[in-house]
Amino acid sequence: MTQPVELPRWIDVAVLPAVNLAMALLVAGLVVLLVGFEPGQVIALLIKGAFGSQAGLSYTLYYATTFVFTGLAVAVAFHGGVFNIGGEGQAIMGGLGAGLAALALGAVLPAALMLPLMVLAAALFGMVWGAVPGALQAWRGSHTVITTIMFNFIAAALLSYLLVGALKEPGNMTPESRAFADSARMPGIHEALGWLGVTWPRTPLNLSVLLAVAAAVLVYLGLWKTRAGYALRAVGFAPDAALYAGMSPKWLVTGAMAASGALAGLVGVNEIAGVHGRLLPDFVAGAGFAGIAVCLIGRSHPVGIVLASLLFGALYQGGAELAFEINGFSRDMVFMLQGLVVLFAGAMARVAAPTLARLWRAVSTRRTVAVGGAGHG
Amino acid sequence: MDEVLIGSVLASTLRVSVPLILCALAGVLCERAGVIDLGLEGKMLMTAFAAASVGTWTGSLALALAAAVVVGVMLSMLHGYACVSHGGDQVVLGMAITMTAAGLTVVLGIAWFAQGGQTPALPDSVRLSGWFEGAGALVAQVPWVGQALALAFFGHNLMVYGSLLAVVGVWWLLYRTRFGLRLRAAGENPAMVDAAGVSVKLLRYQALALNGVMCSMAGAYLVVAQNPSFIPNMTAGRGYMALAALIFGKWHPVGALWACLLFGFMDAVSIRLQGVELPGIGEVPVQFIQALPYVMTVVLLAGFIGRAVAPKALGRPYVKER
């Protein structure tokens, strides 16, 4: 039944995601109506909350930073032909890595050494948590989807074990570590702009946002401008052909998962080093899963992912603002929308394609008929 | 004293295992037909919410269960529409259902009940009561093991016994009926089923419908038997644990039952072991026991202890060749 549908590239890249996103928004709008709110008012407040002020914009960018990391993580694995739904666990491990580095050396190292070390530690911990499921798939045949889900739970249990035990701050009732030394805190954008003499409201937005931009550029260069990236995409596209061409799918799959895990691990830098300044449970809060939605809407391309991250960042921030403004509105509306995006842009992405193809054929034939005269009759 | 302890550990093992068992059976049914279900968690959450909402409004157990079944089957049909009819990615669809469910249940819960996403406590008329309590009292008279047996196996609600019967039912359906043979064939070699003139798509839809019913029972159990009301995200990973159990049980209903009971036992024990020093081992961290089912599943899948082999056509949409 489902024949691959031929679509012009611009429709495939721009129109199809837009249609899918519109369908998700439509269903979400119906739910908004159903629970008794005015969709127009909700959208207006949402946009105002997300972009209407310096603080709102900063929050949007702060959320977007996290989504760029998890979205890129899903995309890199995806190009290698593996589906990484372990972003959640890899981000937890990344935070743990950054946190352990900060707790161990924060008192002795200056910020100039401490911060890069935390970034490396976060990437390394996430990398290991991604590479192991990748290697298990490559050499032992256990499917990454299942293994990464299991690794999410294992990571959460590990963090919670450490936070009620070895890393718990004595005398503190909540399960969290002691606060990091000042050198182990990623400067906020308000501080950075303050150095330049610009006043900016104090928000969680921190210099990790630059790291996110760098990550997006590096992923683009890595995937499309290097031999390894080419091999990775080849393996994802046609594993047998890649093997025949002398590439090593096993190592490439493991590598894709390692890179993916490292990217997800950087969430720990934004959240732990940038915002909380201490290790605490639940700092990932579903960002790993949000990465799937971001990657699907962004069509697994770094540019698309940055744009999709901004969209979701705006939804998160706007949603928080809405929950504050409208009585009875909950941010869970945004989580629902996220699920709907995964539904329409992911699982049902090709449902709209045949209809679009038919429309396109109708439009393009009419145009050729109009241009080429009535020659074909 | 020890009798009571053993009895109550076994009893709570059974009780916490029930949603796992029902959910794992749901997974077995559709994965044996070749459709991956990562949406178990979301289906369970949505059906629990449906049962709790209708139960609150009507006070009727039958209507609450019916609502759960309707929602469960509808979600499964969505699953079928996207993945069986349109060849959509089954893993992505499962994630979509789970993510949407987590948000939608809270949004609707706040709108309808204004209690931060919870439903009010369900009336007694919706809740299941214990069965075989009289028999349990008789068994308790038996010396030595009587008390433990009575506590462990009698006085549970209908769904506890029902879920055990369901294991037998699913086993019988899959391994002793023509439908079951075809269903399993659709998961191993769909082209052959097609060549025999049987519709692979219909079989997969049927498997998904059964999957929806089973999931809805698991969801309903959470609100009519386990908890007094619906709580946001009350499934708390049980759907994934059921998934782990069905893999651990090698996609076989009876294997899944043992895995669920094992995971349920760990759950029941982990609460009791909190702060207890075991001789020779010391205190076992709760988190360790909580993570153990997942670690075991990873190890099993990697083939280090035994081997779990998935149905061959699992996750592949069937495209009829022309």
- Domain enclosing residue B208, as ranges: 2-301
Between chain A and chain B, the number of residue pairs with CB atoms below 8 A apart is 165
Q: Judge whether residue A371 has pLDDT over 60.
A: no
DSSP code for A14: I
Asked whether the beta carbons of residue A351 and residue B247 sit closer than 8 angstroms, the reply is no
| B91 closest CB neighbour out of A145, A289, A348 | A145
Asked whether the beta carbons of residue A346 and residue B97 sit closer than 8 angstroms, the reply is no
- Read off the pLDDT band of A376 (50, 70, 90): very low
**A106, A181 Cβ separation under 8 angstroms:** yes
Classify residue B37: in a domain, yes or no.
Answer: yes
Residue A371 vs residues A9, A360, A374, B290: alpha-carbon distances, Å:
22, 16, 9, 69
The pLDDT, as a whole number, for residue B1 is 52
Summarised one tens digit per residue, pLDDT across range A67-112 is 999 999 999 999 998 889 999 999 999 999 999 999 999 888 898 8
Classify residue B112: in a domain, yes or no.
Answer: yes
Q: Judge whether residue A160 has pLDDT over 70.
A: yes
- With CA atoms as reference, the chain B residue closest to A353 would be B86
Asked whether the beta carbons of residue B102 and residue A147 sit closer than 8 angstroms, the reply is no
Is residue B231 classed as helix, strand or coil in its secondary structure? Answer: coil
- With CA atoms as reference, the chain A residue closest to B99 would be A339
Asked whether the beta carbons of residue B104 and residue A292 sit closer than 8 angstroms, the reply is no
Interface test with A, best of B200, B287, B316 (most A CBs within 10 A): B287
Note the pTM of the prediction, 2 decimals: 0.88
**Strongest mean pLDDT among B44-48, B235-239, B300-304:** B44-48
Asked whether the beta carbons of residue B88 and residue A351 sit closer than 8 angstroms, the reply is yes
The pLDDT, as a whole number, for residue A377 is 40
CA diameter of chain A? 87
Classify residue B47: in a domain, yes or no.
Answer: yes
Q: Distance, in angstroms, between A340 CA and closest chain B CA?
A: 6
Q: Averaged over A277-301, what is the pLDDT?
A: 89
Distance CA A356, CA A353 (A): 5
The pLDDT, as a whole number, for residue B49 is 96
Q: Averaged over A173-177, what is the pLDDT?
A: 85
Beta strand ranges found along chain B (DSSP E): 277-278, 282-283
Q: Averaged over B132-152, what is the pLDDT?
A: 78
The pLDDT, as a whole number, for residue A237 is 86
User: Which pair of structure tokens corresponds to residue A109?
Assistant: 């190292």
DSSP code for A78: H
ipTM of the complex: 0.89
Classify residue B177: in a domain, yes or no.
Answer: yes
Q: Judge whether residue A33 has pLDDT over 60.
A: yes
Classify residue B318: in a domain, yes or no.
Answer: no
Contacts of A374 (CB under 8 A, 6+ apart): none
User: Which pair of structure tokens corresponds to residue A199?
Assistant: 């006043």
**B146, B139 Cβ separation under 8 angstroms:** yes
In this predicted model, which residue has the larger pLDDT, A325 or A125?
Answer: A125
| B106 closest CB neighbour out of A142, A332, A343 | A332
Domains, chain A: 38-325 (1.10.3470)
Q: How many Cα atoms are found within 13 Å in the side-chain-facing hemisphere of A103?
A: 20
The pLDDT, as a whole number, for residue A154 is 94
How much of chain A, in percent, has pLDDT values that exceed 70?
A: 95
- Read off the pLDDT band of A375 (50, 70, 90): very low
Domains in chain B, number: 1
Summarised one tens digit per residue, pLDDT across range A244-279 is 888 888 898 999 999 999 999 999 999 999 999 899
Q: Judge whether residue B132 has pLDDT over 80.
A: no
Asked whether the beta carbons of residue B95 and residue A292 sit closer than 8 angstroms, the reply is yes
Q: Averaged over A45-66, what is the pLDDT?
A: 92
The pLDDT, as a whole number, for residue A373 is 47
Classify residue B287: in a domain, yes or no.
Answer: yes
CATH of the domain at B154: 1.10.3470
- With CA atoms as reference, the chain B residue closest to A85 would be B95
Contact A34/B at CB under 8 A: yes
The pLDDT, as a whole number, for residue A238 is 84
Lowest-confidence segment of A58-67, A278-287, B132-141 by average pLDDT: B132-141
Contact A84/B at CB under 8 A: no
Contact A36/B at CB under 8 A: yes
Summarised one tens digit per residue, pLDDT across range A192-235 is 998 988 888 989 999 999 999 999 999 999 999 998 888 889 88
Q: Averaged over A110-116, what is the pLDDT?
A: 91
Classify residue B44: in a domain, yes or no.
Answer: yes
Classify residue B308: in a domain, yes or no.
Answer: no
